[in-house]
């Protein structure tokens, strides 16, 4: 089952640059977009937001009821959203909820193009780390398994 991931920022001054004001008075607008909240969520075509029903929440009290996470990043607030936040969200929220809703299914995750999602271990099989010519130095990468013990 396909699950898509996305994150969105909502700014307090995220509006049109036009304001209503009396003609004889000038108004001062704030310079920046202001404070913001970041929402990170997983979506399915079948049910929309990945979350447990009320009945499933009662039957599974130790599982979070929704995969959505909120963060108030910025100066003097909580830290910025990092790959550690995303991994925590996937492991501790998204996968447990998915396994309750679809116990016999396989999940396929798709992530948007955030630079945060490029975080990976050093020896991952990644085309960016592969050389064009065999005599160049490259990182020793891990083998990857696909299907029935097929090593690449």
As a whole-number percent, the residues of the chain with pLDDT over 90 amount to 32
Domain for residue 89, yes or no?
Answer: yes
Sign of CA dihedral 72, 75, 76, 79: positive
Residue 6 host element (H or E): strand 2-11
Higher-pLDDT residue of 123 and 152 is 123
Domain for residue 8, yes or no?
Answer: yes
Q: Which domain holds residue 91?
A: 2-14+33-120
Give residue 78's Cα distance to chain centre. 17
pLDDT value at residue 54: 94
Number of structural domains the chain divides into: 1
- Per the CB < 8 A criterion, the answer to whether 135 and 104 are in contact is no
Domain for residue 135, yes or no?
Answer: no
DSSP string, 33-64: ---EEEEEEEEETTTEE-B--HHHHHH-TTS-
pLDDT value at residue 152: 46
pTM of the predicted model, to two decimals? 0.64
Domain for residue 86, yes or no?
Answer: yes
């Amino acid at each position: 089952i396909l699950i898509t991931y996305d994150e969105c920022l909502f700014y307090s001054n995220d509006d049109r640059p036009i304001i209503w004001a009396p003609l004889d008075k000038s108004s001062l607008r704030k310079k920046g977009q202001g404070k913001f909240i970041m929402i990170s969520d997983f979506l399915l075509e079948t049910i929309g937001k990945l979350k447990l029903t009320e009945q499933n929440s009662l039957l599974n009290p130790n599982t979070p009821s929704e995969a959505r996470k909120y963060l108030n990043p910025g100066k003097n607030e909580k830290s910025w959203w990092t790959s550690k936040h995303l991994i925590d969200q996937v492991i501790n929220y998204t996968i447990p909820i998915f396994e309750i809703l679809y116990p016999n299914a396989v999940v396929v995750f798709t992530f948007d193009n955030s630079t945060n999602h490029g975080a990976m271990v050093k020896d991952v099989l990644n085309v960016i780390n592969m050389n064009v010519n065999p005599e160049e130095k490259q990182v020793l990468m891990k083998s990857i398994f696909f299907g029935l013990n097929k090593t690449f």
